[in-house]
Chains A and B, each alone.
Chain A
Amino acid sequence: MFLMVYIFALGKFFMMLAGLDPASTFGGMGSSREAMISSLIEPSILVSLITVGLTAKSTSAYQIMDYMKGVDMPLIHPVYLMTCIALLIIILAETARIPVDDPSTHLELTMVHEAMLLEYSGRGLALMELGASIKQLAFITLLVNIFIPHDQFILISGTGAVLLSLLIYLIKVILLSILIAVAEVSTVKLRLFSIPNLAALSFILSFIGFMQYFVLGR
């Protein structure tokens, strides 16, 4: 799981280098903003994933999901509720959604992610956009499969079970995407210097979840 986080961080690092490379002003600006946002958001990703990992006694994503199947209604549990809300904020920030960064802006001054892609066109741009979408899907999958496990409800076995599981998974992903879209429609883009507030809130949420794990001892 940590490998996944840092593979994405590595991809982001090279994207920042590529933004600096053509020596255009907007690319450098976008890279510096992206570096700021990702360094602000990284502690809260790690703390929330470590908390979930501690409850499951493993850091492998498969074993965590396996453990969460046995937990009765994870969203009613205070620790998981806190880490889940923290991860929602992280998804918004990490995948360049509206409260942090506007993905469809054409005004260069408000660009973060787009400013780095300004020099790309054609197939290169399509690959970059595909990469961003894959990253978003991976984070949504992580959130949805950790906090809303569904495999224990499927009683049949065989190929039908796989197809049913896939169907439920797609429904969950679409529901979460609708939630993110609602958040995106109903908020405005924050000022760049208000992003630390959001990041602090997300870090505090995951940290309180972590504390509760120790105090509750369960």
Chain B
Amino acid sequence: MENYFDVFSVLILLSSFVLVSHKRINAYIKTFRLQSALIALTAGIMGVSSAINEGKYDILIVCVIIIALKVILIPSLLHKTYGNIEYRVEKDFYLNIPILVIICCGLVVFSYFSVSNIGTLNGIHINLPVVNSFSVILIGFFFMISRKKAIGQMIGYLVIENGIFVTAMFSTHGMPFIVDIGIFIDMITAVLIMGIMVIQINEKFESININKLRNLKG
């Protein structure tokens, strides 16, 4: 069972690298959907094992909520937001992609050397999945600061949220149900508000490039 969690955490890390190496907003949304599906699969496996061993169904319900929210609802909201703004070919990031990917690799190395020494909580062998999902959080932060367009930054926020959820899931093997629900409601509100903000920014400034927000408008 631990082996499967190792592999899934590695795959989630891999999907965030794929996210960093993409250029287009459609590809971001697709990769985010893939990452959420991987997380839902992990939660499903964990939920089935806890339902069999301990008779708790919390994580299975969380898995269903992840599928409904992160795999279906939020990507379609993002697509809708993206469809409302006009498409414009612009350079979306500050550095070129190989350098971004290599900096992310540096972040992963950092978290390998810093987090892997923490040891285990609850006496469960957790090192590798926690380290990987911690690096997903760092990569999410980096993705957020390296992109210029607002939708890219929204995706960065969602990736950070995914990383936090996965870290919590791997280190405690199931958080209290009410905490998870709180996080999800928070996230869906944030995405809705940010979607409205992006459309407003696009209407006012005719671009979602955040560098243009410095221009004065009278």
Contact = CB atoms under 8 A, between A and B. Distances in A.
Bind each other: yes
Given A77-B6, A201-B21, 12 more contacts: A73-B3, A77-B7, A78-B128, A81-B7, A81-B11, A200-B21, A204-B17, A211-B109, A211-B112, A212-B128, A215-B112, A215-B127
A56 interface: no
A63 interface: no
Interface in B100-114: 101-102, 104-105, 108-109, 112
Chain B, interface residues (CB within 8 Å), range: 20 to 34
* Closest 5 pairs between A and B when the two form their complex, measured CB to CB: A200-B98, A78-B10, A200-B101, A197-B97, A78-B6
Given A78-B128, A81-B10, A211-B109, A204 B3 contact: no
* Binding site secondary structure of chain B: helix
B144 interface: no
Contacts of A196: 97-98
Interface string B1-44: 00110110111011001100100000000000000000000000
Given A77-B3, A78-B7, A81-B7, A208 B102 contact: no
B131 interface: yes
B116 interface: yes
Interface in A186-218: 196-201, 204-205, 207-208, 211-212, 215-216
Chain A contact residues, majority secondary structure: helix
A78 B101 CA distance: 20
B104 A204 contact: yes
A212 B5 CA distance: 15
Contacts of A207: 105
Nearest to A75: B7
A200 B20 CA distance: 11
Nearest to A72: B3
B35 to A, nearest CB: 15
Contacts of A115: none
5 contacts: A77-B3, A81-B10, A82-B14, A196-B97, A204-B102
A73 B131 CA distance: 23
B128 A215 contact: yes
Nearest to A196: B98
Nearest to B115: A215
Interface in A149-208: 196-201, 204-205, 207-208
Interface in A72-122: 73, 76-78, 81-82, 85
A82 B14 CA distance: 9
B7 A215 contact: no
B91 to A, nearest CB: 13
Contacts of A77: 3, 6-7
